[in-house]
Amino acid sequence: MFNQSIVKKNELLHIHHFDKNNEIDSSKNKEIPQRYNPYINNEGTVLGFKGQDYIILAGDTRLSTGYSILSRDAKKLFQLTEKVFLASSGMNADVVNLVKNLKIRIELYRSSNNYEPEVECISQLLSTLLYYKRFFPYYAFNVLAGVNSKGDLKLYGYDAIGSFDTLEYASQGSGKEIVMPILDSLLKDNQPKPDLEKGYRLALTAMNSCSNRDIYTGDSMDIVIIHKDGKIETKKSELRKD
Protein backbone atom coordinates (compact mmCIF):
# COMPACT_ATOMS: atom_id res chain seq x y z
CA MET A 1 0.00 0.00 0.00
CA PHE A 2 1.32 3.43 -0.91
CA ASN A 3 1.60 6.20 1.64
CA GLN A 4 -0.21 9.50 1.21
CA SER A 5 -0.10 12.94 2.80
CA ILE A 6 -2.70 15.70 2.83
CA VAL A 7 -1.69 19.33 2.37
CA LYS A 8 -4.15 22.27 2.48
CA LYS A 9 -3.13 25.19 0.28
CA ASN A 10 -5.10 28.08 -1.19
CA GLU A 11 -8.38 26.55 0.03
CA LEU A 12 -7.70 23.37 -1.97
CA LEU A 13 -7.06 20.01 -0.35
CA HIS A 14 -3.92 18.54 -1.98
CA ILE A 15 -3.62 14.76 -1.57
CA HIS A 16 -0.08 13.57 -2.35
CA HIS A 17 0.46 9.90 -3.13
CA PHE A 18 3.90 8.37 -2.64
CA ASP A 19 5.36 5.39 -4.45
CA LYS A 20 7.53 2.64 -2.95
CA ASN A 21 10.59 4.90 -3.02
CA ASN A 22 8.79 7.58 -1.00
CA GLU A 23 8.67 9.88 -4.01
CA ILE A 24 5.52 11.79 -4.96
CA ASP A 25 3.56 10.02 -7.67
CA SER A 26 2.25 13.02 -9.65
CA SER A 27 -0.10 10.85 -11.71
CA LYS A 28 -2.26 10.21 -8.64
CA ASN A 29 -2.26 13.65 -7.04
CA LYS A 30 -5.70 15.16 -6.39
CA GLU A 31 -7.02 18.61 -5.60
CA ILE A 32 -10.33 18.68 -3.73
CA PRO A 33 -12.03 22.07 -3.22
CA GLN A 34 -12.98 22.79 0.41
CA ARG A 35 -16.37 24.32 1.20
CA TYR A 36 -17.45 26.05 4.39
CA ASN A 37 -20.76 24.83 5.80
CA PRO A 38 -22.27 27.25 8.36
CA TYR A 39 -25.07 24.86 9.32
CA ILE A 40 -25.39 21.89 11.63
CA ASN A 41 -28.53 19.88 12.22
CA ASN A 42 -29.21 19.26 15.91
CA GLU A 43 -31.99 16.85 14.94
CA GLY A 44 -34.99 15.92 17.10
CA THR A 45 -38.67 15.59 16.21
CA VAL A 46 -41.81 17.71 16.61
CA LEU A 47 -45.41 16.99 15.66
CA GLY A 48 -48.82 18.62 15.78
CA PHE A 49 -52.41 17.66 14.94
CA LYS A 50 -55.98 18.82 15.40
CA GLY A 51 -58.45 16.94 17.56
CA GLN A 52 -62.16 17.47 18.14
CA ASP A 53 -61.79 20.74 20.06
CA TYR A 54 -58.05 21.05 20.64
CA ILE A 55 -54.61 21.00 19.03
CA ILE A 56 -51.72 18.95 20.39
CA LEU A 57 -48.10 19.96 19.84
CA ALA A 58 -45.31 17.66 20.98
CA GLY A 59 -41.52 17.68 20.76
CA ASP A 60 -38.65 15.72 22.26
CA THR A 61 -35.89 17.36 24.32
CA ARG A 62 -32.72 15.71 22.95
CA LEU A 63 -30.10 17.98 21.35
CA SER A 64 -27.55 16.07 19.27
CA THR A 65 -24.68 16.53 16.89
CA GLY A 66 -23.53 13.43 15.08
CA TYR A 67 -23.42 10.62 17.65
CA SER A 68 -22.97 13.01 20.60
CA ILE A 69 -25.81 14.15 22.88
CA LEU A 70 -25.23 17.80 23.81
CA SER A 71 -28.30 18.20 26.00
CA ARG A 72 -31.16 16.07 27.28
CA ASP A 73 -33.35 19.04 28.20
CA ALA A 74 -33.45 21.31 25.13
CA LYS A 75 -36.99 22.45 24.43
CA LYS A 76 -38.46 22.55 20.93
CA LEU A 77 -41.84 24.07 21.85
CA PHE A 78 -42.04 27.85 22.34
CA GLN A 79 -44.94 30.02 23.51
CA LEU A 80 -45.25 33.15 21.34
CA THR A 81 -48.48 34.56 22.81
CA GLU A 82 -51.13 33.34 25.27
CA LYS A 83 -52.77 31.22 22.55
CA VAL A 84 -50.02 30.60 19.95
CA PHE A 85 -47.14 28.11 20.11
CA LEU A 86 -44.27 27.25 17.77
CA ALA A 87 -42.69 23.81 17.43
CA SER A 88 -39.32 23.88 15.68
CA SER A 89 -36.57 21.42 14.81
CA GLY A 90 -33.23 21.94 13.07
CA MET A 91 -30.19 23.98 14.07
CA ASN A 92 -30.71 25.01 17.68
CA ALA A 93 -28.89 28.36 17.31
CA ASP A 94 -31.13 29.32 14.36
CA VAL A 95 -34.27 28.17 16.17
CA VAL A 96 -33.43 30.29 19.23
CA ASN A 97 -32.64 33.31 17.04
CA LEU A 98 -35.86 32.90 15.04
CA VAL A 99 -37.98 32.69 18.20
CA LYS A 100 -36.26 35.77 19.62
CA ASN A 101 -36.97 37.80 16.47
CA LEU A 102 -40.59 36.61 16.41
CA LYS A 103 -41.15 37.64 20.03
CA ILE A 104 -39.62 41.08 19.40
CA ARG A 105 -42.00 41.74 16.50
CA ILE A 106 -44.98 40.40 18.42
CA GLU A 107 -44.14 42.71 21.32
CA LEU A 108 -43.89 45.68 18.93
CA TYR A 109 -47.33 44.78 17.54
CA ARG A 110 -48.75 44.50 21.05
CA SER A 111 -47.30 47.87 22.04
CA SER A 112 -48.70 49.59 18.96
CA ASN A 113 -52.18 48.06 19.04
CA ASN A 114 -52.73 47.27 22.73
CA TYR A 115 -53.70 43.66 21.95
CA GLU A 116 -51.94 40.50 20.85
CA PRO A 117 -51.83 39.49 17.18
CA GLU A 118 -54.08 36.64 16.08
CA VAL A 119 -52.60 33.31 15.04
CA GLU A 120 -53.28 34.18 11.37
CA CYS A 121 -51.14 37.33 11.69
CA ILE A 122 -48.31 35.41 13.33
CA SER A 123 -48.44 32.75 10.63
CA GLN A 124 -47.82 35.42 7.99
CA LEU A 125 -45.16 37.11 10.14
CA LEU A 126 -43.26 33.82 10.46
CA SER A 127 -43.45 33.29 6.69
CA THR A 128 -42.13 36.81 6.06
CA LEU A 129 -39.23 36.39 8.49
CA LEU A 130 -38.20 33.09 6.91
CA TYR A 131 -38.49 34.44 3.36
CA TYR A 132 -36.48 37.55 4.27
CA LYS A 133 -33.57 35.22 5.10
CA ARG A 134 -34.02 33.06 2.00
CA PHE A 135 -30.46 33.62 0.68
CA PHE A 136 -28.97 32.55 4.04
CA PRO A 137 -32.00 30.84 5.59
CA TYR A 138 -32.71 29.86 9.14
CA TYR A 139 -32.03 26.14 9.38
CA ALA A 140 -35.31 25.67 11.23
CA PHE A 141 -38.36 23.65 10.25
CA ASN A 142 -41.53 24.80 11.95
CA VAL A 143 -45.06 23.89 12.95
CA LEU A 144 -47.20 26.78 14.22
CA ALA A 145 -50.43 26.24 16.17
CA GLY A 146 -52.94 28.40 17.96
CA VAL A 147 -56.55 29.47 18.39
CA ASN A 148 -58.02 32.81 17.32
CA SER A 149 -60.56 35.02 19.07
CA LYS A 150 -63.43 33.22 17.30
CA GLY A 151 -62.34 29.83 18.68
CA ASP A 152 -61.00 28.56 15.35
CA LEU A 153 -58.09 26.14 15.71
CA LYS A 154 -55.22 26.77 13.29
CA LEU A 155 -52.21 24.59 12.41
CA TYR A 156 -49.53 25.57 9.88
CA GLY A 157 -46.50 23.75 8.47
CA TYR A 158 -43.44 25.55 7.04
CA ASP A 159 -40.32 24.90 5.04
CA ALA A 160 -37.03 26.73 5.69
CA ILE A 161 -37.77 29.71 3.41
CA GLY A 162 -41.31 30.53 4.45
CA SER A 163 -43.62 28.50 2.23
CA PHE A 164 -46.51 27.36 4.42
CA ASP A 165 -49.94 25.81 4.36
CA THR A 166 -52.87 25.18 6.68
CA LEU A 167 -52.81 21.54 7.78
CA GLU A 168 -54.74 19.04 9.88
CA TYR A 169 -51.53 17.41 11.13
CA ALA A 170 -47.79 17.90 10.60
CA SER A 171 -44.36 16.76 11.70
CA GLN A 172 -40.81 18.07 11.30
CA GLY A 173 -37.34 16.84 12.18
CA SER A 174 -35.25 13.70 12.03
CA GLY A 175 -38.18 11.40 12.88
CA LYS A 176 -40.65 12.92 10.44
CA GLU A 177 -40.61 9.86 8.17
CA ILE A 178 -41.51 7.67 11.15
CA VAL A 179 -44.21 9.90 12.64
CA MET A 180 -46.09 10.87 9.48
CA PRO A 181 -47.27 7.33 8.52
CA ILE A 182 -48.73 6.95 12.03
CA LEU A 183 -50.62 10.24 11.72
CA ASP A 184 -51.64 9.38 8.14
CA SER A 185 -53.19 6.09 9.22
CA LEU A 186 -55.42 7.72 11.84
CA LEU A 187 -56.07 11.27 10.64
CA LYS A 188 -55.98 11.19 6.83
CA ASP A 189 -58.96 11.43 4.44
CA ASN A 190 -61.41 13.19 6.75
CA GLN A 191 -61.39 10.46 9.39
CA PRO A 192 -63.17 11.37 12.65
CA LYS A 193 -60.97 13.56 14.83
CA PRO A 194 -59.91 11.88 18.08
CA ASP A 195 -61.15 13.05 21.45
CA LEU A 196 -58.65 14.40 23.95
CA GLU A 197 -57.82 11.05 25.58
CA LYS A 198 -57.23 9.31 22.24
CA GLY A 199 -55.29 12.29 20.90
CA TYR A 200 -52.98 12.30 23.91
CA ARG A 201 -52.35 8.56 23.49
CA LEU A 202 -51.71 9.11 19.78
CA ALA A 203 -49.03 11.74 20.53
CA LEU A 204 -47.38 9.42 23.07
CA THR A 205 -47.47 6.46 20.67
CA ALA A 206 -46.05 8.43 17.75
CA MET A 207 -43.18 9.94 19.74
CA ASN A 208 -42.34 6.67 21.53
CA SER A 209 -42.30 4.79 18.20
CA CYS A 210 -40.03 7.48 16.82
CA SER A 211 -37.61 7.40 19.76
CA ASN A 212 -37.33 3.60 19.45
CA ARG A 213 -36.13 3.92 15.85
CA ASP A 214 -34.44 7.33 15.62
CA ILE A 215 -31.30 7.85 17.73
CA TYR A 216 -31.71 11.64 17.54
CA THR A 217 -35.12 11.60 19.25
CA GLY A 218 -35.39 10.78 22.93
CA ASP A 219 -34.94 11.57 26.64
CA SER A 220 -38.29 13.28 27.30
CA MET A 221 -41.26 14.77 25.52
CA ASP A 222 -42.94 18.15 25.98
CA ILE A 223 -46.66 18.31 25.15
CA VAL A 224 -48.83 21.41 24.74
CA ILE A 225 -52.61 21.10 24.41
CA ILE A 226 -54.38 24.19 23.03
CA HIS A 227 -58.12 24.06 23.69
CA LYS A 228 -60.77 25.76 21.59
CA ASP A 229 -61.70 28.07 24.48
CA GLY A 230 -58.09 29.29 24.77
CA LYS A 231 -57.14 27.12 27.74
CA ILE A 232 -53.56 25.81 27.61
CA GLU A 233 -52.30 22.55 29.15
CA THR A 234 -48.66 21.48 29.33
CA LYS A 235 -47.46 17.97 30.08
CA LYS A 236 -44.21 16.03 30.07
CA SER A 237 -43.54 12.38 29.37
CA GLU A 238 -40.41 10.22 29.37
CA LEU A 239 -38.84 8.74 26.24
CA ARG A 240 -35.85 6.46 25.69
CA LYS A 241 -32.63 7.69 27.27
CA ASP A 242 -30.17 5.69 25.14
User: Any idea what the Cα angle at residue 230 is, between residues 227 and 235, rounded to 5°?
Assistant: 55
For residues 131 and 152, what is the distance between their CA atoms, to the nearest angstrom? Answer: 26
Burial readout 159-188 (b: 16 or more C-beta within 10 A, e: otherwise):
ebebebeebbbbbbbbbbebbbebbeebbe
CATH number at residue 83: 3.60.20.10
Domain contains 193: yes
Q: Are residues 70 and 21 in the same domain?
A: no
- Residue 188 in any domain: the answer is yes
39, part of any domain:
no
Name the residue among 151, 63, 177, 83 with its Cα closest to residue 123.
Answer: 83
Q: Identify whether residues 101 and 19 lie together within a single domain.
A: no
Q: Which of the residues are catalytic?
A: 45
pLDDT digit string, tens, across residues 98-137: 999 999 999 999 999 999 999 999 999 999 999 999 999 9
Are residues 11 and 71 both part of a single domain? no
143, 211: one domain = yes
Domain residue limits at 19: 4-33
Establish if 168 belongs to a structural domain.
yes
Number of structural domains in the chain? 2
In tens, the pLDDT along 23-52 reads 555 555 555 566 778 999 999 999 999 999
